[in-house]
Structure 1
Amino acid sequence: MRNSIQADKIRTGQGFIAALDQSGGSTPKALRLYGITEDQYTSEAEMFDLIHAMRARIAQAPAFTGDKVLGAILFEMTMDREIGGKPSAQFLWQERGVVPFLKVDKGLAEPGSGVRLMKPITGLDALLDRAGAAGIFGTKMRSVIDAADPAGIDAVVAQQFDVGRQILGHGLVPIIEPEVTISIPDKAAAEELLRGAILAHLDALPADQEVMLKLTLPEAPNLYEALVNHPRVLRVVALSGGYTRQEANARLAQNRGVIASFSRALTEGLSAQQSDAEFDTALAAAIHDIQRASVAG
């Protein structure tokens, strides 16, 4: 069953959620931005060792605490490893006061109807059992919307909530993430369709169940206010989606009740070549700015 102390922290905390869940497909880019190029590792195992070292460095930095960082989304391989001599999820909660989440999707299917659904998540029940035993509070899964196609958007949201109900059945809180691509010409129209589809599924949830939503920062400020205030929603968080940290923070501050769940925008400016003091200073500044934007609304 979910931890009520962690649920209260996510519901009312004045902070944001860090996304440290880059997968096999996105790890090379994350490492390049961190100053580690492909010629510096020779295998996937080495690549994942390097990205884990980056994540551990972030998690152990002085500013990475539950005062401003309410939660952190982990990749499965991170959950299975240690940080600071403890299993990662235990370290985050016991040492940092940060609520641990787990990315559970297996990537995206081929495009169709203007969207990219999730691939089937094989072995999900077993993974959720392991996550619960490891102290994970909730999960995250991502789909992508590339056009304002009503049928495609309905399919994305239906799939997300179908899997979400499976996750709720394991006592975990699903973060439902139907990302709208920031560069599409009909982004505002897609977001209107998405809001309606999500509201319909939220209204159908039993009264004792809550989900979280992770959404692209919308074109219209406060477009998602009805979702923020919905009784089945624990919290609405926003992804940076390719915006710079400055632009993401500016957009975030215009949306009441929405907090950040940034990945690339959080790690922007961090480098493997920085001294620990330089790294800690840069990360502390990023955490300060993102937390301030998260509570500005």
Structure 2
Amino acid sequence: MAPNPEIFAAQKARMSTGQGFIAALDQSGGSTPKALRLYGVDEDAYDGEDAMFAEIHEMRSRIITAAPFSSDKVLGAILFEKTMRGVVDGKPTAETLWSGLGIVPFLKIDKGLEDKADGVQLMKPMPGLDALLQEAAGLMIFGTKERSVIHEANADGIEAIVAQQFEVARQVLAAGLVPILEPEIDIHSPTKEAAEDMLLAAILRHLDTLEEGQEIMLKLTIPTKPGLYDPAADHPRVLRVVALSGGYSTDEACARLAESPKMIASFSRALTEGLSKQQTEAEFTAALGSNIDKIYKASAA
């Protein structure tokens, strides 16, 4: 199924010019136990994968339905596959986000990472991707997100990462959706700054291979050198450049992001920092609202 043209156009206009940030609510099976522990739910509190995903869906639903989670400050939200297929506030999740809140929904499509080679981790194969993209398009999903990781400044590895990201991006574009390419650079890499220079050069080369009318987004680690990715943000094939928090605390991620004004946030751990299942609704709302305010201000800097 192709996206609804009117909905897609409205989502694109909002994503192109809106103020705010993208909330990353897309922890997968591998990262969910850690996210739940940080939320105050230990592994002995649930039995099996279904119960684990029920817990994380409850957390995501609590975030989405909280008063601070509004289109005033949140532009978009990235969902895990099970979250897209789930229900929030009595409706399909993406419908609640877009029709109910005016927040643009995205879908995480990668299936995890290959073992490290040439200083990077490529994405694993994505069987059934075309069918998943058609399903997403029918559920008001605007775009996708796909993550791979760079650990060192290795030219061959970085070229392989970027080439794979653009290969997947073309498949997403063919389905009528907008891909967010996420070649993350490990914030602890001893060659982070050199890797960032290599990554920018590779991205710009590949951007020039896209056809007119093909637009993508980029999700990148906040650079060591402020404004490094401005040439990518200014490229006519780039709709928006967003930043991942990468393990930085909320305060540090926001401080670093504010130094690169052409990037907006797409934070996961920094968004949920300090949230707990045991909090009262008032406590939860206050903590989430504080995080959202910080991330919004850094994105609007």
**Normalized against structure 2, the TM-score is what?**
0.98
Percent identity for Structure 1 against Structure 2: 61
| Equivalent residue, structure 1, for 2:75 | 70
2:6 is the alignment partner of 1:17: no
2:142 is the alignment partner of 1:132: no
Cα shift at 1:42: 1.1
Partner-residue secondary structure (3-state), 1:241: coil
Taking the TM superposition and a 5 Å limit, the aligned residue runs for 1:89-104 are: 89-104=94-109
Give distance in 2, aligned partners of 1:73 and 1:256. 22
Cα shift at 1:258: 0.4
Aligned pair count reads: 296
2:195 is the alignment partner of 1:190: yes
| Equivalent residue, structure 1, for 2:86 | 81
Contact persistence 1:18–1:261 (CA under 8 A): yes
Cα shift at 1:11: 1.0
Match of 1:267 among 235, 256, 272: 272
Partner-residue secondary structure (3-state), 1:142: strand
Q: Which runs of 5+ in 1 are unaligned?
A: none
Cα shift at 1:234: 0.4
Cα shift at 1:195: 0.1
Give distance in 1, aligned partners of 2:185 and 2:20. 23
Structure 1 runs (4+) deviating above 4 angstroms are: none
Contact persistence 1:257–1:295 (CA under 8 A): no
Cα shift at 1:67: 1.2
Q: Which runs of 5+ in 2 are unaligned?
A: none
Give distance in 2, aligned partners of 1:286 and 1:182. 21
Cα shift at 1:66: 1.1
Match of 1:179 among 184, 191, 207: 184
Cα shift at 1:13: 0.9
Give distance in 1, aligned partners of 2:65 and 2:86. 14
| Equivalent residue, structure 1, for 2:172 | 167
Taking the TM superposition and a 5 Å limit, the aligned residue runs for 1:126-275 are: 126-275=131-280
The letter for the 2-side match of 1:110 is D
Partner-residue secondary structure (3-state), 2:164: helix
| Equivalent residue, structure 2, for 1:276 | 281
Computed over aligned residues only, the root mean square deviation of the Cα atoms, in angstroms, reads: 0.6
Give distance in 2, aligned partners of 1:208 and 1:41. 47
Match of 1:51 among 53, 56, 59: 56
Contact persistence 1:249–1:289 (CA under 8 A): yes
Partner-residue secondary structure (3-state), 2:213: coil
